[in-house]
Structure 1
């Protein structure tokens, strides 16, 4: 009789432990999905600012149509990739598509900023300056949100890959690791000027 009770207690402990593994996987997945939702909000904010930037610049940059068109196309492509990523955050293939779309948008925006530098009147435009300031602020928010997402993904992947959760992850609906979201950083590290006497 005592052997049966010990067996029963052991089975209950194992079941409770397996339930805790399931709950932890769900909690960590929900955490990185919520973190991606924050990225989603900030990227949408950026995508909403870009058409305003283009509208302000259109008249002054009428013969720079190709640059403006490239920014618009890259923005639309990134917006579509974001919508797809929002439905499956962390899925490697979808995250890679979003990364490529964001890289294209960053390149287009860099080209746009170079062209704006050639127009002093446009550079001094108050509305354009405000939009650029909002865009820079949004970029910082995106960087913070991306870091939070990547941290949450790392916690999820670490837990999922550890033993014994790895034994239960696939059967519990967590068949693969979540992918990090990494954008190309255009900021270059500036070196200190060399001084010679």
Structure 2
């Protein structure tokens, strides 16, 4: 009878340990899964930015053939693209560095603004607007800009779900212990809601 006295507390302790381990394991694995979803969304954002990056040289060359004296606008696009340099496909560690993420977003925003100005300038050149190569590039660029908006929204949704999950108690304890950090979000670029001004 005496030997059974310690058996019940041992069983209770074992059940608590197993339940705690199971809960920790499940939460940790869920965090890993959600983090990987955010990284996959980030890869899609990078893919569409890379597509836009690759379209720009052909677009600039086509416009240059018809509107060579719009050198200021063409230079702005070329410089904005050059400034991006290695900032199209970068490490996903930037997602947990708000300052680096802000720099990435700002550089992409500058390129978007320069491309908008280029499209506005092209409206003044009927021959350019009739050029089949330019029209094809313009369609591809518009499609790419739409994809960028969609992929950024998907990224923000996955990042928001992940951030909310790791901030909730008691999961935040596991997240802090295991190095799961908050992810940055894409924000609307300041002035993105206004059309670019073009002077002639």
Do 1:146 and 1:181's aligned partners in 2 also have CA atoms closer than 8 Å? yes
Do 1:32 and 1:153's aligned partners in 2 also have CA atoms closer than 8 Å? yes
* Residue in 1 that maps onto 2:152: 146
TM-score by length of structure 2 reads 0.87
Q: Which residues of structure 1 form unaligned runs of 5+?
A: 190-197
* Residue in 1 that maps onto 2:10: 4
Q: Secondary structure at the match of 2:173?
A: helix
* Residue in 1 that maps onto 2:131: 125
* Residue in 1 that maps onto 2:198: none
Q: Secondary structure at the match of 1:42?
A: helix
- Displacement of 1:86 after TM fit? 4.4
Which has the higher Rg, Structure 1 or Structure 2? 2
- Displacement of 1:90 after TM fit? 4.6
Q: Which residues of structure 2 form unaligned runs of 5+?
A: 1-6, 196-200
Alignment of 1:116-195 (within 5 A): 116-174=122-180, 176-184=181-189, 186=192
Alpha-carbon distance between aligned partners in 1 of 2:176 and 2:87, rounded to the nearest angstrom:
27
- Displacement of 1:128 after TM fit? 0.4
Alpha-carbon distance between aligned partners in 2 of 1:143 and 1:161, rounded to the nearest angstrom:
27
TM-score by length of structure 1 reads 0.88
Cα 1:151–1:110 shift into 2, 3 Å = same
* Residue in 2 that maps onto 1:193: none
- Displacement of 1:187 after TM fit? 5.4
RMSD value, Cα = 1.9
* Residue in 2 that maps onto 1:22: 28
Cα deviation 1:139-178 (Å, max 9, x = unaligned): 111111111110100000000110111111122011x310
